[in-house]
Each structure stands twice: as structure tokens, then as C-alpha cells.
Amino acid sequence: MVNKKGREEYMSTGLIIWGIVVITIIAVFIYKAGSNINNQYKYNINIDKVGFDKFKLPLIKLNIRGLDKYFLVDTGANSNVLSMDIIDLPEFEDKIHVVGELTQLGGGGVSEVVKEIQECVRTEDEAFTIKFSVSNSYKNLADAIKAETGLEVVGLIGSPFLEKAKWIIDLDSLVIWAKK
């Protein structure tokens, strides 16, 4: 016959073992959930913290024609925009592929007819050939960002690119995730 003290020790040991099993199951579940999240994405791009802290705008660095430049990510923009200033750089000289013209609504609600060009931009992991309208419609904003942060914004990435690239913006972590 088991005395009361032996029974309490047996029950206590059983509870400890049961607690370890429950903690192990929870840890495995959390690990697998985290792995599944990470397996949904090919890579991530960091949003510039200084630009975000100052202006609450997501700025990312992309490579265009061998130049690492900052682009503003604008989910409300229905086109991608390149600054006229970058087109004047030697890297672009005589190599611009104009694919047409379009009328776009620029800064201040003014419509303008702009050239549309095709360019390749690269992250560290992937390259995209996309259409950009060439305009200085956001020049005042780009100038303000440069004055406050020293970051030169040469383009705007709009929703057509975000959809094509399957990017998801995570402003809590200041990261853009690229879905598989």
C-alpha cells in the first residue's frame, strides 16, 4: 500500500512530466509555424529606417543600370516613375527604351503627358524588367527627403510593380517580403 507522501511524490512527478510534454509540443508548434512563414517568402528587402522615421515613407534601395538608388514604395500609385534627373546620367545615355507615352496625374493633381520607358531594376536576389513613366512630378518630395536624410530618391515603385513582384510590406518590421 502506497502512503500519502509517496502518492504526492508520484503525482508531482507526473505533473512535471506532463508539463514538459506540453511545453515541448508548444515549442514544436511555434517552430513549425515560424518555419512555414519563412518558407512562404523568397527573400526580404529592408526599408530604410532613417527615411521611414523622418517621413513615414517606405524607401528601399534597388539597383538600376549598376547604380544603387533609393525608390519610394507607394501602394497608391498606379504607375512606376523614374526621375528625369536619373535619365540624364551617363549610365542611361543612348540606352533608353521608350515604349510609349501616357497621360498621368502628377503632383498637385495636374495631368501631364510623359514618356514610358522599360528598365530593369534589381534587388540582391531578383531582377525585374518593368515600365516606368519619366517625370519629376514628385520632385518636391524627393528634394525634401534628400535635405532631411541625405537619401536621393530617384523613382517611385507603384502598385503594378508590387503586384508583379508579389511583395508584401511589413511596416512593423520595416521589411518587404517577396512571396514565392
My answer on whether 22 and 56 are in the same domain is no
My answer on whether 92 and 28 are in the same domain is no
My answer on whether 130 and 73 are in the same domain is yes
Closest CA to 82 of 137, 180, 156: 156
Closest CA to 48 of 168, 177, 149: 149
Closest CA to 74 of 127, 138, 119, 143: 138
My answer on whether 146 and 107 are in the same domain is yes
Does the pLDDT value for residue 14 go beyond 80? no
Higher pLDDT, 8 or 152: 152
HSE-up of residue 2 (Cα within 13 Å, Cβ side): 8
pLDDT at 4: 60
User: What DSSP state is assigned to residue 92?
Assistant: G
My answer on whether 20 and 106 are in the same domain is no
My answer on whether 133 and 174 are in the same domain is yes
My answer on whether 29 and 117 are in the same domain is no
HSE-up of residue 130 (Cα within 13 Å, Cβ side): 24
Helix, strand or coil, per DSSP, at residue 27:
helix
Structural domain boundaries enclosing 80: 43-179
Give the CATH number of the domain where residue 105 resides. Answer: 2.40.70.10
pLDDT at 16: 75
Closest CA to 73 of 41, 121, 18: 121
Closest CA to 72 of 86, 92, 51: 51
* 123 membership: H or E segment, kind and range: none
My answer on whether 77 and 134 are in the same domain is yes
My answer on whether 35 and 52 are in the same domain is no
My answer on whether 58 and 108 are in the same domain is yes
My answer on whether 29 and 103 are in the same domain is no
Q: How far apart are CA 49 and CA 8, in angstroms?
A: 56
φ/ψ of residue 120, rounded to 5: -105, 125
If one counts the domains in the chain, the total is: 2
pLDDT tens digits, residue range 48-102?
998 899 888 999 999 999 999 999 999 988 889 999 888 878 787 777 777 878 7
My answer on whether 143 and 157 are in the same domain is yes
pLDDT tens digits, residue range 101-139?
877 766 666 777 888 889 999 998 899 999 998 888 888
